[in-house]
Homo-oligomer: A and B are copies of this chain.
Amino acid sequence: VKVHDLPTPALVVDGPTFEANLATMSAALPGDRLRPHVKAHKCTSLARRQQAHGHRGFTCATPREVVGMARAGLGDDLLLANETIDAQRLRAMANCGGRVTVAVDSDATVSAAAANGIREVLVDVNVGLPRCGCAPDDAARIADLARGLGLDVRGVMGYEGHVYVFPDRAERSRATEQAMEFLVAAHEKVGGDVISAGATGTFDINTWATEIQAGSYALMDTAFAPMVPQFRPALYVLATVISVNDKHAVADCGLKALGMDHGNPAIDSADVWLVSDEHVTFKPEQRVAVGDVVRVWPAHIDPTVAYHERMHLAAGAQLDADITDTWEIDLRGW
C-alpha cells in the first residue's frame, strides 16, 4: 500500500522526518533528560519509538493515557502532569502495574491521591501560565501535606506555556528564566530529585529543569514549527479531491479531522479558504482533478490526532511512499 492508496481522510506520518525529529531531540536531551508527552500523539506504538531513542519516562495528560501506556509495557515511570480527584481513575492508575506519579496542587488533589492508592506525587507549581499549579510559596505546605498522608514527594513540576507568546527566542529565554526562578525556589523548599517542566518550545532554553516534558517535537505542526525549526512537521492528513471547478477545489478533510484552535490547516501549493465539517475548500496553484490526493497540514497536532482511530507510517514524504506500518491511536478519551 502506498500513501495515495489510503482511504481518506487519513493521518500519515512522514517516517524519515519523524525519525529525524526523534533523533534531534534525543541528542539534545538524552535518556531521562526528556520525558516525552504522549498527549501529542496518544499512540503507544509511537511512544515505543520514543522509548527506542532512550527515553524511559513519559508524561501523560489523562488517566487513560497513563493506564494505556502501562498496559502497553511502557510503564517504567509515568507522570500524570495534570490534576484529578476522580477516585475511580486514580485507583485505575494506582493499580495499572506501572510506576505512576501524579501532579497535585491543592489539599483536595493531595487527599484524593492518597485516598486512592497513589504512592508518588510532584507538586505542580504555577509559574505564570493561568492554568493549574499552586502558588510558588504554597508548594512547601502542599508537599508537607502529601508527606503527612504517606505520599512520596518526588519534587516539583511547572509548565511555562505562557512563554509561547514570544516568538523571539531571546524574549522567550528571559520569560523562561523568570518562570523557572519560581519553580527552582519552590523546589528548594519541597525537595526531591525532580524538577519537571517545559515543552518543545523551550527544549534548548530550559536548563533549570531536570527533565523536559516535550510532546510536539515528534510530529510537529504548522503553528509551532517556526518557533523551533530544529523539528519539522511530520504529520499530515491525506485528503482526496472530491469536487473541482474553475475557482476552487474541495477535499474530504474537515473540522472532524483537524484541530482548529490554531486556525486553518495548510495545503501544499494552495490557499486554504474554508473548512467545514467534512470539507476543506482551497485554491490550488496548479489545476487538480477529482481523485487527486493532497496533504493537509494541521495547525495543531494534539487535537487533530484525537479525532483519528489510527495513523499510517510512510517510508517517505511523497504521496507514492510505501506505508510501512499502521498505528492505532489507542490512548484517546479520558
Contacts and interface: CB of A to CB of B under 8 A. Distances in A.
A71 to B, nearest CB: 18
Contact of A306 (B88, B106, B302, B307): B307
A148 interface: no
Interface stretch (A21-29, A128-136, A188-196): A128-136
Contacts of A88: 7
Contacts of A279: 82, 131-132
Contacts of A285: none
A6 to B, nearest CB: 10
A51 interface: no
A89 B6 CA distance: 12
B85 A240 contact: yes
A109 interface: yes
Given A130-B273, A256-B302, A309 B291 contact: no
A7 B260 contact: no
A61 B243 contact: no
A261 interface: yes
A277 interface: yes
Given A8-B86, A130-B273, A277-B302, 12 more contacts: A7-B86, A82-B242, A82-B252, A84-B252, A85-B291, A105-B243, A108-B289, A109-B243, A130-B248, A256-B306, A306-B307, A307-B307
17 contacts: A7-B86, A7-B88, A82-B279, A85-B240, A85-B291, A105-B243, A108-B290, A130-B248, A131-B274, A131-B279, A131-B281, A132-B250, A133-B243, A252-B334, A260-B303, A277-B302, A307-B307
